[in-house]
Amino acid sequence: MTRSIKCGMVWIIVTALILLIFSSSYATQFKSVDNFFFPDTSIIDDDLIIAGGNIKLDGTIEGDLISASRYLVQNGLVTGSLNSAAQNLEILGVVNGSVRGFAQNVNINGQLNQNLIAFCSALNIRSDATIAKDVTAFGGEMTLDGKVGGDLKGSVGTLIITGVVAKDVSITADNITLMPTAQILGNFKYKSEKQAKIESGALVSGETVWTKKELKKENESKNVFSTKSLITEMLFLLALMITGIVLFLVCKQNAYQAKKAVGESFLKSMGLGFVFMVCIPIAIIILLITVIGIPLAVISLFAYLILVYIAKIPVAAFLGDRIIKALGKEGEPSLIWSMLLGLVILTVLLNIPYLEWLIYFVVLFTGFGAILLSQRRSTG
């Protein structure tokens, strides 16, 4: 009984936080569906939190949109900000606030009246797109055909600009091309191993500053990490392994349910994790502004950070389990050995250039959601 109570405490705290969010914002709507279509005649007069497979929103949301899905197409009006974790994210309508996207592909062909922050494999800002303020991008490939009213910054593999940047460009990239129609109305500062290809007709109003990325020395190029970063990486990996072993020994049933949730409810786990990871800090802030809620806010923050720290563990256990079974091992693999193997593989995957942040957030959201699903199932 004591062990069961300890394993369920985090779930109780998180549940209380979510209830606090919805009790303090009664009009907020939460939906969990496989496929969802929101017609252009519909209006939601507050925030919308939604998780599902395919989501198409043509109506008006008078607040923020928080979503997790395979595909999200926004073709209506969002008066607040849009936060999305998706495989494919497409913005065709109007967002009065900022857009924050964690996706494989992000396509913008609408109007953003604040900022765009994108962690993705490919970012396309189409010719009809207008972004009033800054664009911050981290990913593999970026194409800018539309208009950016602020700065362009971040780190990408390939950058192609055919549109307009009204202020400065400060970017790190392997390959940069400014097409003849490109206009940078501020400074153009970039870091790359080679100079940008600036076609005839491209305009840079300010100064152009190229910072050359130094090639790794021959003896360094053989190593993925420097000695210092490798030691740090190994220490974090070892600490997480020890944490995982302790958790699996103390809460074996919960650990098994969390690993199972990753495999059986991957999208649901990722969606739930994304929604809760966004909502819980909001609830903590609400508690902090009330004197009586400060102790609970501190406890909740501590529980939240623990969940973020251990979120990799169920994903690692699932990944290791799949690999061990693929190698032909009969029977059910050990949870601990699966977890240890999975953590090693995740460490490698999380160091893939340009994709590390996307992989990191997918793992984080999925693991976070899987832990919550496992607690719900074990207490249900």
Q: Which residue type, as a one-letter code, is found at position 95?
A: V
Q: Which residues pair with 369 in a beta bridge?
A: none
Which residue has tokens 């017609």? 39
Specify the range with the lowest mean pLDDT, choosing from 60-74, 96-110, 276-290, 298-312.
Answer: 276-290
Highest mean pLDDT among 33-47, 155-169, 263-277: 155-169
Label residue 266 by pLDDT band (50, 70, 90): confident
What pLDDT is attached to residue 291? 65
Q: What is the pLDDT of residue 257?
A: 85
pLDDT over 60 (residue 318) = yes
Answer yes or no: pTM beyond 0.85: no
Indicate the residue type of 259. Answer: K
Given its phi and psi angles, is residue 207 left (phi above 0), alpha (psi -120 to 50 degrees) or beta? beta
Average pLDDT, the chain: 82
d(CA 380, CA 378): 6
Asked whether 376 and 11 are in contact (CB, 8 A), the reply is yes
DSSP letter string, 291-307: GGGHHHHHHHHHHHHHH
- The 8-class DSSP code of residue 341 comes to H
Structure tokens at 156: 């990408």
- Of 82, 86, 30, the residue nearest 55 (C-alpha): 86
The pLDDT of 145-150, averaged and rounded, is 97
Write down the pLDDT at residue 255.
Answer: 82
What integer is the mean pLDDT of 267-273?
Answer: 78
Q: Which residue has the higher pLDDT, 233 or 211?
A: 211
Contact criterion met (CB below 8 Å) for 131 and 148: yes
- 348-356: average pLDDT: 76
pLDDT band at residue 224 using 50, 70 and 90 as cut-offs = very low
